[in-house]
Amino acid sequence: MTKKTIKAIQQQKGGRKITCLTAYTSSVAKIIDNYVDIVLVGDSLGSTIYGMKNTQKVTLGMMKAHGRAVSQYCKKSFTIIDMPFNTYNNNKEALANAKSIINYTKCQSIKIETDKNNIGIVKYLTKNKVKVVSHIGVTPQKYKNFNKIRTAGKLPNEKEKIIKLALNLEKAGSCLIVLECMKETLANEISKKLKIPTIGIGASKDCDGQILVIDDILGISSSEKKPKFVKSYANFESIINKSVKKYCLDVIQKKFPSKKNVYK
């Protein structure tokens, strides 16, 4: 079984679209590894696993624990782990924490939310043989309240700054760039200008790949309001409700455990 390399991912630019999903547990990783090109252990686990209102309290320990659980079961897909908020404020800190994640989890790359202020950190990490995925546009770690998130790149001056940032991050050594919640035309322009692949989330179908949160495509919290870019392919929340209700009734009505569920 051949594991996907960053070179193989990069060669897909302009060809077959790159498929990406998040995973936080080994059970989910085992399943999606059969289908996707990339598995991201995202700091979105703050809300999906821990019920946090934002990602700012996600710790390095959380990312390492979930990252290890996922990475060991990704036999084919390329693995990326998010560096959490306030763990890459300078070169020395970023390198120490990136290596800590990689060494503990055996992932292939880390992802950091990037702006003009940390281009140098991307360059430094790359120089020290750390594969870096940059994340631009809307960068959720900056927000305490996700309701305040708005589409990036609508204003002309903002558009030029984002294009310049993307080009500079490519020069700094980024191996991929995630484009989040930005105007479709802007995402298209960036994807055409860059030699490295772009991965869209709320960006454009013309990005080189797409990523969504696994909980969102499964409809695990289908009753909650979701961003416009989310598409659910199942209603797992309904399945869980029905299953738990049936189990409780079986216990109350003494139908479970039955003879075939007990040891003689």
Strands in 98-250 per DSSP E: 109-113, 132-137, 176-180, 198-201, 209-212
- Phi and psi at residue 32, to the nearest 5°: -75, -20
CA distances from 35 to 21, 26, 39, 74, 216 (A): 10, 15, 10, 11, 17
User: Cβ(211)–Cβ(200) under 8 Å?
Assistant: yes
Task: Pull the structure tokens for residue 158.
Answer: 């903002």
Q: Is 85 helix (H, G, I), strand (E, B) or coil?
A: coil
Task: State how far the Cα of 4 lies from the Cα of 144, in Å rounded to an integer.
Answer: 35
Distance CA 149, CA 212 (A): 17
Output DSSP code: residue 181: S
Give catalytic residue positions: 180
